[in-house]
Structure 1
Amino acid sequence: MIFFVIGTSTYLTIEISNKDDIQNAQQTELIDLYGNILVNQKLQLNTNNSLLYSTIEKFQPPVKNFFFYIRLTGIDNNGYHFQRLSSTALTSYIRLKSIVNVDYNSIQIKSNQLYNIQCYMQSQLPYYVQWFKNAQLISQNDYPSHLTTVKYLIKLTEINAEGLYICNVTSTSGYDIDEINVDILAPPPIIQILPTKELFTLINITISIKCLVQSTKDYNLIWKQELPSSSLSTGNALTHFSPYAF
């Protein structure tokens, strides 16, 4: 059984059933029902099998014509030109369009780290992938059909890396898209206690301890007093602050 796939370059290999009748097969043609030549390719003998001839170059199968025959021409053992025609008309096979999927349509990424987003392909044909971020093209590459996972590296996961990423896969049989909404998580707050080490004071003297906080989001600040084991209680204080409050 022979399959020609529309949009895919291919070779054609022909097996000679009786080598005694043929001296040299020279070329093969794909012809339509009216005898018009659609494809014309020269043949070469397979060096490992004297019954096999293959086209020298790849070719695109017919697209517009629904049915066609394979015609073989060459020189027989008596030195005469011969022609052989396939007994059954063939047609090119139209593959299903490519399909793309992602693990999650919305993800959260920690700030200040590299991260790969990826999409998974189902394609019977070589395909072309374009990555878009907020409708702007950011990457494009060609891939073979056997490669089923395509990744895009978000190099600087800062706030400006947030957005809607679209994976668009296109082949000669059609296209498909899927999307990933990327949310960059804010970095954790950075705190510094002043003074940074032990602080000594006299009884009944008021002192202040500073907690310097750097944060891009609102935060809760908890002060906790840890008393010696001989004490009977501890005290906690919870306060809500806006970013960059001290």
Structure 2
Amino acid sequence: MKIKFATCISCWIIFALTFDIVYSQNEDIPVGAASLAFVFDITGSMYDDLVQVIEGAEKIMAMTLARTINPLYNYILVPFHDPDIGPVIVTRDPDEFILELQDLYVHGGGDCPEMSIGAIKEALDTALPNSFIYVFTDARSKDHVLTEDVLSLIQQKQSQIVFVMTGDCGNHSSDGFLAYEKIASTSSGQVFLLKKDQVNQVLDFVTLTVQAQKVNLMSVDSPKKDVNTYFIPVDNTLKELTVSVSGVAPDIKLWAPNQENQYSEHDGLRNLLDLKKVKIQNVRDPIPGKWKLQVSSNSSHTVRVRGLSSSNFFPSFSRSTSHDTSSTTLRPLKGIESSPIVNTTDIDPPAGLYRMEFIDLQGEVLAEYPLIRNPLKDNIYTVSPLIPPYTFFYIKVTGVDDEGNTLQRLTPTAISAREATRPVVHISDMTRGYYQATAFLTCEVISEVPFLVQWSRGGKLLGNLQEHRGSSNVTLEVPNATEKSEGLYLCNATNKAGWRATQTFLDVSEPPPSITPPKNVSVVPGDNGMLTCSVHSTVEFNISWYKVGRNSRIKSSKKFNILDNGSLII
């Protein structure tokens, strides 16, 4: 499959990985499928970067295709050049993807800020859910007005974004650069500031990390120069442990459980990246237990700790206390009580979870709640209704593995409570009523939050103001309807986000006749029998008789006789 979209903007690279989520729009996409997306800035100054990216892409392809489980389902390329983005390339063929990279033409430049945020938005729109995204550029963003749209998409797609920058237009305090930091922080990504000749080293690191079953263990943004110590619980399902620090002169020190000496290369420590502003270390098959981590930097810095494991969790929020995850959302409503529901994979008894925490972007605990396991479904946990934080937050869960080691996981990205939307109101264009009978006008109101409904006609309020806690049908009764009752009626629904109204026309007509069923009649064989039904109608009517099991109407004949009053003689 190859799709090209004729939209435009600047130059970068994004690698998108998708794990443990079914892409429901297409049943052919397997569970755990991943997208590898490159968003590339094709301004002239990015030529050296492009050469390294093409070489790095070939290594990534070779490495992932050689793995027993290849997490990559498709490949996405989003070139951009101010003021254009695209065309967006989507392909299942890795060779075609490499050819598309080689066909990129870098040119122009001079105007440093680029349309980078729009390019990221295109990648997020196109990539599979749960994407892992790397952005390569040497310029800050010109279209930072789109940042909030990208933050919303990050939460929808649960996508991590890492910026690999070989330039920044010389201003770290500009809105265009701060937008990158905000996107990286919210997505549990990082901003790497590198030299042009260091891009290939980052790509070597990416080659090793493009794997399935990635889990988030810790995400902390430190606002100042500091030395901090953290304790990382490692459970027996973690196959790898990776620590990355971005800042000026970063340093990482690790101690294995119950060890006085620092963990070193002799013990199996791997230095994946060691640059002036980025340091990444990795441990394969880490010993279960409490690892000690000491991180330092001469500036504000970000710390990320990730692992490889099939044991993970997927939180959602529900307005009800039901354990049903089909009606939940990834983001709770702002200022409204929600019930968190936690769905897990490969955390089966005797392993389990017992605590959920809300963590801010600096790693501080905002709130803590006990998790309650569903007695009928071992993989489902619930929390009592709560009002979520008003700031961005991660969800951290804590429990034990099947050997009693502490198990912790963090959501792939930060979450923010969203504003409620205005109610949606549905009603028929016309409602039929009957003369001197009660007419019923019903409008369906769909609302995420409590709402008020008021009926009116010609500007005059009708009935009482009604309050409802959630989506429901709201009915107005019009007693003893006559021709004066005919006309337009307005149903207005209002919640905290706004209001919507729609109208229906009440058409009053004569009611259908009512029939009193005839009683059973008994006759002597050979005698005539007469059946009579009593009919009430405000207008003229006709009576027809039918015999059960026959579709044709009975007519007067030698066997049947229909009298003027409608009675039937047999």
Q: TM-score range by the shorter chain?
A: 0.5 to 0.7
For 1:17, the equivalent position in structure 2 comes to: 346
For 1:175, the equivalent position in structure 2 comes to: 499
Q: Relative contact order, CA 8 A, sep 6+: which one is greater? A: 1
RMSD of aligned Cα (Å): 3.9
Q: Which of 37, 49, 59 is equivalent to 2:386?
A: 59
CA 1:124/1:140 → structure 2, altered by over 3 Å: closer, same or farther?
A: closer
CA 1:178/1:38 → structure 2, altered by over 3 Å: closer, same or farther?
A: farther
Q: Which of 412, 422, 439 is equivalent to 1:97?
A: 422
1:112 aligned onto 2:436? yes
1-structure distance, mates of 2:385, 2:371: 11
The residue type paired with residue 453 of structure 2 is Q
2-structure distance, mates of 1:164, 1:173: 26
Q: Which of 45, 63, 69 is equivalent to 2:373?
A: 45
8 Å Cα contact 2:438-2:481 kept in structure 1:
yes
1-structure distance, mates of 2:436, 2:503: 23
Specify which structure has the higher proportion of helix: 2
CA 1:136/1:34 → structure 2, altered by over 3 Å: closer, same or farther?
A: farther
The residue type paired with residue 332 of structure 2 is V
Structure 1 residue 60: deviation in Å?
A: 3.2
For 1:34, the equivalent position in structure 2 comes to: 362
Q: Which of 466, 469, 474 is equivalent to 1:140?
A: 466
For 1:71, the equivalent position in structure 2 comes to: 396
1-structure distance, mates of 2:337, 2:370: 19
CA 1:110/1:136 → structure 2, altered by over 3 Å: closer, same or farther?
A: closer
Structure 1 residue 153: deviation in Å?
A: 1.3
Give per-residue Cα distances to partners, 1:192-232, cap 9 Å, x unaligned.
xxxxxxxxxxxxxxxxxxxxxxxxxxxxxxxxxxxxxxxxx
CA 1:39/1:138 → structure 2, altered by over 3 Å: closer, same or farther?
A: same
For 1:128, the equivalent position in structure 2 comes to: 451
CA 1:165/1:150 → structure 2, altered by over 3 Å: closer, same or farther?
A: same
For 1:193, the equivalent position in structure 2 comes to: none
Q: State the percentage of identical aligned residues.
A: 22
For 2:331, the equivalent position in structure 1 comes to: 4
2-structure distance, mates of 1:19, 1:109: 59
1-structure distance, mates of 2:376, 2:432: 57
Structure 1 residue 79: deviation in Å?
A: 6.1
What TM-score comes out, normalization by structure 1 length?
Answer: 0.53
8 Å Cα contact 1:27-1:74 kept in structure 2:
yes
User: Secondary structure at 1:4's aligned position in 2?
Assistant: coil
2-structure distance, mates of 1:53, 1:164: 49
Structure 1 residue 29: deviation in Å?
A: 1.4
Give per-residue Cα distances to partners, 1:41-89, cap 9 Å, x unaligned.
211122234344322x122333x32x31111134566767664322322
Q: Which runs of 5+ in 1 are unaligned?
A: 186-246
What TM-score comes out, normalization by structure 2 length?
Answer: 0.26
Asked which structure has the greater CA Rg, the reply is 1
Structure 1 residue 117: deviation in Å?
A: 1.4
8 Å Cα contact 1:39-1:61 kept in structure 2:
no
2-structure distance, mates of 1:17, 1:117: 51
The residue type paired with residue 117 of structure 1 is L
Give per-residue Cα distances to partners, 1:119-162, cap 9 Å, x unaligned.
233x25254342334135524141643x4x43211124368867
The residue type paired with residue 130 of structure 1 is V
2-structure distance, mates of 1:135, 1:172: 21
8 Å Cα contact 2:424-2:447 kept in structure 1:
no
175-184 vs 156-165, greater mean Cα deviation: 156-165
8 Å Cα contact 2:436-2:479 kept in structure 1:
no
2-structure distance, mates of 1:156, 1:36: 64
2-structure distance, mates of 1:30, 1:156: 57
Specify which structure has the higher proportion of strand: 1
2-structure distance, mates of 1:26, 1:131: 46
User: Secondary structure at 2:381's aligned position in 1?
Assistant: strand
CA 1:119/1:111 → structure 2, altered by over 3 Å: closer, same or farther?
A: same
CA 1:174/1:35 → structure 2, altered by over 3 Å: closer, same or farther?
A: farther
